[in-house]
């Protein structure tokens, strides 16, 4: 059985401790190409954390994030996403564990009273249509995309802060977001 749990940090000590154990492990693995993204500091401002499980064994971790540079009510899901015990970064298929994590995060964000839009982004290009198709065909989870890059972090001069996104929610909110 595959399922996911999403919670606000500090509201479930056992899940907090489990997430921290896996976060620390990936951070210490300096062979992982993105190890520096997993400092404790990166997770201090998360709105929520998620772990997906298969037969009660953790398989994926990620977080949900809000930032002041995004329009109010915009959430990034699948933030700092990783497969536990797997150094592979690039996606070949969307697994059921990833889909359940995404469903759990979508459900959590849409329950927030200020929710307007949820998005997934990555620093590289040419992933959007693949992910949209995988989620739709395999799991009936619908996302949209457009041709803009959106400012996802504070530094407008850093090209990695400009990312293409896939999203669900009120597309009019995208007009309020810094993009190019």
Mean pLDDT, the chain cut into blocks of 10 residues (180 residues total): 98 98 88 80 94 96 96 97 70 88 98 98 86 96 96 94 96 96
Per DSSP, the chain holds a count of helices (H) and strands (E) of 3, 9
In total, how many domains does the chain have?
Answer: 1
Q: Give CA separation, 67 vs 13, 112, 143, 147, 157, in Å.
A: 25, 15, 21, 22, 18
Res 174: pLDDT: 98
DSSP character at residue 131: H
CATH of the domain at 93: 3.40.630.30
Residue in the block written with tokens 């995208």: 174
Res 158: pLDDT: 94
Res 28: pLDDT: 86
Res 91: pLDDT: 60
Domain that holds residue 160: 2-176
């Amino acid at each position: 059985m595959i399922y996911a749990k999403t919670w606000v940090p500090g509201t479930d000590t056992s899940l907090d401790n489990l997430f921290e154990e896996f976060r620390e492990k990936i951070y210490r693995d300096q062979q992982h190409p993105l190890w520096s993204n997993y400092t404790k500091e990166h997770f201090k401002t998360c709105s929520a954390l998620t772990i997906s499980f298969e037969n009660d064994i953790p398989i994926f971790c990620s977080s949900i994030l809000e930032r002041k540079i995004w329009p109010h009510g915009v959430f990034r899901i699948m933030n700092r996403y990783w497969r536990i015990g797997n150094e592979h970064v690039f996606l070949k298929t969307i697994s059921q564990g990833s889909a359940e994590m995404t469903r759990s995060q979508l459900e959590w964000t849409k329950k927030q009273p200020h929710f307007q839009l949820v998005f997934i982004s990555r620093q590289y290009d040419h992933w959007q249509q693949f992910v949209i198709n995988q989620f739709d065909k395999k799991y009936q989870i619908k996302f949209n995309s457009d041709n803009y890059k959106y400012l996802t972090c504070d530094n407008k001069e850093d090209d990695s802060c400009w990312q293409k996104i896939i999203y669900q929610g009120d597309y009019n909110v995208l007009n309020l977001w810094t993009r190019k």
